[in-house]
């Protein structure tokens, strides 16, 4: 099956006074239609920048992006306009991406107007009503303003707006991070239901591994712009091979009372993302680091079937 999205050696560097900041460095992955790729890592690891570069909200420094078999690495303005119909984004704080002076119905219906989707006012009203129903917003909120709603309902507006053009692919950037745990579950369930019904493909960006556990088919762990581990979600949650992923997973609270938790606390300085050295970027914080880690950059290698890790000593550490 042809993947819906193929990303090859994508780089995004930002110029700074002290040199180039390597926000995304040589990242490659594929996603099949109807699947979810969870992208996890601490803040500043490049995961949100990656989502924005894939959507062309930020220009790539280099690399290739193929969508539906078509090279969209350097789209023209007209191509980009067409792409927006198929590629959408749900933001962490929908408030920052919507006009607070518009009502719920106006926000959700705006893309329909921009893309002239509906021929008549009746068709437009019916579609907005349908979108509100799809995302679980009762009709009585039609004329409400975002500030009058709670965080969960505001996020439903963001999802409704992203769905207005019936896209194939959505980048969800920390969509539940600002919500209470009970509301998080509602929004995640809504997103999974919508995926089943509409065969949607997601990139789900989050700093919280427990959030992506149920929604992701595959997971990619990023550290300072590079991918350090990538596998199916099932495999990653049963067996973490990279020292950084082990530490990330150890931080997830356990559900069972009394279950022992051996949290791995990372010490040491963060490597600067500005002109990073040709070395393992995790080395200053890695409990297994040796001399080679500070002088040679490891590459992402398939260590077990479909399980990729970027570490010189992964076999030794995991006794493989
Ligand atoms: Fe740790 Fe070295 Fe592996 Fe980097 S390459 S994760 S420093 S053991």
Ligand 1: centre distance to CA 20 (Å)? 24
Q: Most confidently modeled of 66-75, 248-257, 263-272?
A: 66-75
Task: Give ∠ CA 1-49-247 in degrees, rounded to 5.
Answer: 85
**What residue ranges do the domains of the chain occupy?**
5-86+167-318, 100-165
Confidence of residue 259 (pLDDT cuts 50, 70, 90): low
Q: Which atom of ligand 1 is nearest to the CA of 292?
A: 2
Q: Residues of the chain with pLDDT > 70: what percent? A: 97
Question: Residue 179 pLDDT more than 90?
Answer: no
Task: Determine the pLDDT at residue 251.
Answer: 76
Between 205 and 264, where is the model more confident?
A: 205
Question: Residue 43 pLDDT more than 80?
Answer: yes
Task: Determine the pLDDT at residue 244.
Answer: 96
Ligand 1: centre distance to CA 313 (Å)? 6
Question: Lowest mean pLDDT: which of 11-20, 88-97, 152-161?
Answer: 88-97
For the beta carbon of residue 143, count every other beta carbon within 10 angstroms.
11
Report the alpha-carbon distance of residue 271 to residue 157 in Å, rounded. 39
Whole-number average pLDDT of the chain: 93
Task: Determine the pLDDT at residue 268.
Answer: 79
Nearest CA to ligand 1 atom 7: 283
Report the alpha-carbon distance of residue 2 to residue 278 in Å, rounded. 35
Ligand 1: centre distance to CA 243 (Å)? 7
Task: Determine the pLDDT at residue 209.
Answer: 85
Residues with CB under 6 A from ligand 1: 243, 280, 282-283, 286, 288-289, 293, 298, 311-313
Ligand 1: centre distance to CA 292 (Å)? 9
The DSSP call for residue 319 is: T
Q: Among 222, 243, 281, 308, say which to mutate for ligand 1: greatest number of ligand atoms within 8 Å of CB.
A: 243
Report the alpha-carbon distance of residue 88 to residue 167 in Å, rounded. 7
Task: Determine the pLDDT at residue 180.
Answer: 86
Question: Residue 261 pLDDT more than 70?
Answer: no
Nearest CA to ligand 1 atom 6: 311
Q: Which atom of ligand 1 is nearest to the CA of 312?
A: 5
Burial class (CB in 10 A: 0-12, 13-18, 19+), 174: buried
Instruction: Enter the tokens of residue 34.
Output: 């109807």
User: Does the domain formed by 5-86+167-318 have CATH 3.40.50.300?
Assistant: yes
Given 3-state DSSP classes, what are the helix, strand and coil percentages for the chain, each rounded to the nearest 5?
A: 35, 25, 40
Question: Residue 256 pLDDT more than 70?
Answer: no
Instruction: Enter the tokens of residue 244.
Output: 């950084």
Report the alpha-carbon distance of residue 81 to residue 92 in Å, rounded. 23
Residues 6+ apart with CB under 8 A from 270: 224, 284, 285
- CA 163, chain centre distance (Å): 17
Ligand 1: centre distance to CA 244 (Å)? 9
Ligand 1: centre distance to CA 184 (Å)? 34
Question: Lowest mean pLDDT: which of 60-69, 178-187, 237-246, 283-292?
Answer: 178-187
Ligand 1: centre distance to CA 242 (Å)? 8
Task: Determine the pLDDT at residue 214.
Answer: 84
């Amino acid at each position: 099956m042809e993947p819906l999205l193929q990303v090859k050696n994508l780089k995004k560097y930002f110029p700074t006074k002290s040199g180039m900041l390597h926000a995304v460095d040589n990242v490659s992955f594929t996603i099949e239609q109807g699947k979810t790729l969870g992208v996890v890592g601490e803040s500043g690891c490049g995961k949100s920048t990656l989502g924005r570069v894939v959507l062309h909200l930020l220009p790539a420094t280099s690399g290739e992006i193929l969508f539906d078999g078509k090279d969209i690495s350097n789209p023209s303005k007209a191509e980009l306009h067409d792409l927006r119909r198929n590629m959408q984004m749900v933001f962490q704080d929908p408030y920052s991406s919507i006009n607070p002076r518009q009502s719920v119905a106006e926000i959700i219906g705006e893309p329909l107007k921009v893309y002239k989707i509906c021929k008549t006012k009746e068709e437009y009203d019916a579609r907005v009503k349908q979108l509100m129903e799809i995302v679980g917003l009762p009709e009585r909120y039609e004329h409400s303003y975002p500030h009058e709603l709670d965080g969960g309902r505001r996020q439903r507006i963001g999802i409704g707006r992203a769905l207005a053009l019936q896209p194939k692919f959505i980048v969800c950037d920390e969509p539940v991070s600002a919500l209470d745990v009970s509301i998080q579950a509602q929004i995640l369930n809504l997103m999974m239901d919508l995926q089943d019904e509409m065969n949607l493909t997601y990139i789900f960006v989050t700093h919280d591994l427990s959030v992506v556990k149920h929604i992701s088919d595959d997971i990619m762990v990023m550290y300072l712009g590079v991918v350090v581990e990538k596998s199916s979600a099932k495999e990653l949650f049963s067996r973490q091979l990279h020292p950084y992923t082990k530490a990330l997973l150890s931080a997830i609270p356990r559900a069972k009372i009394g279950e022992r938790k051996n949290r791995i606390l990372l010490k040491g300085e963060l490597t600067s993302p500005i002109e990073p050295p040709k070395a393992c970027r995790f080395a200053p914080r890695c409990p297994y680091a040796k001399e080679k880690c500070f002088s040679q950059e490891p590459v992402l290698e398939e260590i077990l079937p479909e399980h990729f890790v970027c570490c010189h000593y992964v076999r030794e550490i995991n006794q493989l």
